[in-house]
Amino acid sequence: MKTTSSVLVANFKHWGIHHIFGIPGKAVSPILFEILHHEMEFVLSKHEAAAGFEAAGYALMNQKIGVAVGTSGPGGTNLLTAAGQAKASNLPLLIITGHPSMKDTGKAMGQDSSIFGSDLVDMFKSVTKFSARIERGDMLQPFLQHALEKALSGVKGPVHLSIPFDILLEEIEPFQLELPVSHDMISPKTSEVIDKLNMAKRPLLFLGKGVHSSKSYAEVQHLAEHWNIPVITTPGGKGTFPSNHTMSLGAFGLGGTVEASEYLHEKVDLLLVIGSKLSDMSIPGLSEAMYPEHVIHFDYDPTFIGKSIQVPTTPVLGDIKANLTAILKDIPNTNSEAFIAPIESIPLQENNPGERMSAIQVLRAMRYSLPDDAIIFGDDGSHSFYGIKHFDIYKPGTFFFDDIFGAMGNGIGYAIGAKLAAPKETIVCLVGDGCMFMHGTELSTAYNYNSSVLFIVLNNGRLDMVEKGMQKMIGTSIGGVYETPLDVTRFAESMGLEAYTCYNPFDLNDRIKEALNRIEETNKPIVIEALVDENEIPPTMGRQ
């Protein structure tokens, strides 16, 4: 017999999880004590929401699952934001929260997480795929198995288990669970898709982040090349298709390109939507006059199919990669190299005297100085929309951004967790000063646990999307400008990091190259602050 906490942590180890993220508290302390005996590292985050972001980024890169732990009461409520973000990002995240004691439930208890206090199980239901309380030790095995199946099947996502302190100490028969293997669901509509593609005169591919989730980069490229279909991406679909591919028109929606809009203006007869809900972030500027004649919509979840673009629609439900593989099984391979255009870099431009640099120049300097396979995590804000529009992708799967839930600071945590899961990858966090104000203390977490992320911070002293949006709507802004702007370099240095402030794109280009070499030497994160024009209009003003 072993304690529930021991069995739980032994399963984490069996799944190949080497890092658990969270903040200690009495209610979950038995789990932390067991981590000491299993050659695993407990990553002390600075806020539970950030711990959840870090665990989600870890899951994205390890292709398994991430684990975040928070104590009862406020530890759990802080993790709600991370759960909502993981659900929007389709990432498998196991959240464990505590409760003072099952045997004392119903009595007055501090940080009560039952129905008599802050009912965490109920709170988590709307932001997870599964939320339950383990009320006896023998319930752990079936409930943990259910949680894993929910997290890793279909549209992947977060799950939550509340385990009271006394249950964690209860002795049970040991067991070992395997991570479930998702069964591919293939739609019966695949032959119909082929017929429609063969008949289409002016088709268009519209890629969302479901392409990231399904890792179907090669399949969408094969599809585009065989049928000569131009490709656009949603903001969340950025990074799913090479920018220098001759079929690429860039992004549509917020941060979209002129080429993408012009193609839709000229009337599309068949729009293939792959892995997108078509939210208001993805289709601003798409008028009824631009609607296609027919939509083929690939997704696991039918909830939003046919809702945003109300034209005749063929749903292709099930696993995106499996469905595309079925469609392409008899299609000869294409010569993808023939579709890749030479890289044409736009020269950097010096700032006007006395003015800050343009955010566009920051993104161009990043593209000049970063390797093609550097993985960018865009935090939530106009800085990432500049990236969507101006940062070219040469290798699919190297830019991640959520355009649905949009929790500020999520990119900081995602990048930290991703680097711990894949230490050999070049991981870059594209972030703004507003996100740094929210979760910038996680720089300390990155430093203390050797998560050697390169943080590039665009600083214009304001909540840029909000402030510019207010200016557009009412001619002024309220609460959008920081009275005392963040000094990013001094902030980072106070937590032990090397940090630099750049005033022009040429200096930024050099600093990034130096930082990448320095990271190799020290295995520590580095922060580069880019001071950008406060009055520059971001590519987000098309949203109504």
| Bigger pLDDT: 290 vs 182 | 290
Sequence-ordered list of residues with C-beta below 8 angstroms from that of 78, at least 6 positions apart, any chain: 47, 48, 49, 70
Q: What is the DSSP letter of 137?
A: G
What order of strands is seen across the sheet that includes strand 231-233?
248-251, 231-233, 203-207, 270-274, 294-299, 313-317
Compute, in degrees rounded to 10, the torsion defined by CA atoms 462, 466, 469, 475.
-60
Residue 394 CA to residue 416 CA, distance in Å, equals: 23
Amino acid sitting at position 296: I
**Mean pLDDT in residue range 162-182:** 95
Could you tell me which of 355, 408, 405 has the C-alpha nearest to residue 383? Answer: 408
Does pLDDT of 70 surpass 80? yes
Cβ–Cβ under 8 Å, residues 387 and 530: no
Cβ–Cβ under 8 Å, residues 278 and 302: no
Secondary structure element (H or E) that encloses residue 500, with its range: strand 498-502
Residue with tokens 């839930």: 405
Residue with tokens 């020269």: 347
Amino acid sitting at position 467: E
Residue 77 CA to residue 48 CA, distance in Å, equals: 9
What domains appear along the chain, each with residue ranges and CATH number?
2-172 (3.40.50.970), 190-339 (3.40.50.1220), 359-531 (3.40.50.970)
With H, G, I as helix, E, B as strand and everything else as coil, classify residue 132: strand
pLDDT, the chain, mean: 94
44 φ, ψ (degrees, to nearest 5):
-80, 100
Give the other-Cβ count within 10 Å of 454's Cβ.
25
Does pLDDT of 543 surpass 60? no
Does pLDDT of 310 surpass 50? yes
**Mean pLDDT in residue range 207-223:** 96
| Bigger pLDDT: 102 vs 527 | 527
List the structure tokens of 69. Answer: 């732990």
Sequence-ordered list of residues with C-beta below 8 angstroms from that of 352, at least 6 positions apart, any chain: none
List the structure tokens of 258. Answer: 């002129």
CA separation (Å) from 183 to 154, 258, 347? 8, 40, 48
Residue 255 CA to residue 278 CA, distance in Å, equals: 15
Measure CA of the first residue to CA of the last residue in the chain; give whole Å: 60
Strands, E, within 254-368: which ranges? 270-274, 294-299, 313-317
Least confident span in 63-67, 276-280, 372-376, 461-465: 461-465
pLDDT band at 77 (very low <50, low <70, confident <90, very high): very high
Strands, E, within 54-157: which ranges? 66-70, 93-99, 131-133
Look up the pTM and report it: 0.95
With H, G, I as helix, E, B as strand and everything else as coil, classify residue 452: coil
| Bigger pLDDT: 471 vs 416 | 416
- Within the chain, how many helices (H) and strands (E) appear? 20, 20
List the structure tokens of 347. Answer: 């020269």
**Mean pLDDT in residue range 342-359:** 90
Q: Provide the pLDDT for residue 301.
A: 86
In sequence order, what are the beta bridge partners of 69? 22, 96
List helix spans (H) across 200-330.
210-214, 217-227, 258-265, 320-328
Percent of the chain, pLDDT > 70?
Answer: 99
Residue 30 CA to residue 167 CA, distance in Å, equals: 10
Sequence-ordered list of residues with C-beta below 8 angstroms from that of 55, at least 6 positions apart, any chain: 20, 21, 66, 67, 68, 82, 93, 94, 95, 417
pLDDT band at 544 (very low <50, low <70, confident <90, very high): very low
Cβ–Cβ under 8 Å, residues 51 and 97: no
With H, G, I as helix, E, B as strand and everything else as coil, classify residue 98: strand
Give the other-Cβ count within 10 Å of 110's Cβ.
10
Q: What sign for the dihedral angle of Cα 206, 210, 212, 216?
A: negative
CA separation (Å) from 334 to 82, 193, 246, 328? 41, 19, 14, 11
Q: Provide the pLDDT for residue 102.
A: 67
Does pLDDT of 331 surpass 90? yes
Could you tell me which of 6, 145, 136, 28 has the C-alpha nearest to residue 76? Answer: 28
Does pLDDT of 9 surpass 50? yes
pLDDT band at 394 (very low <50, low <70, confident <90, very high): very high
Could you tell me which of 49, 89, 54 has the C-alpha nearest to residue 446? Answer: 54
Does pLDDT of 515 surpass 90? yes
pLDDT band at 255 (very low <50, low <70, confident <90, very high): confident
Give the other-Cβ count within 10 Å of 538's Cβ.
22
List the structure tokens of 114. Answer: 């039952």
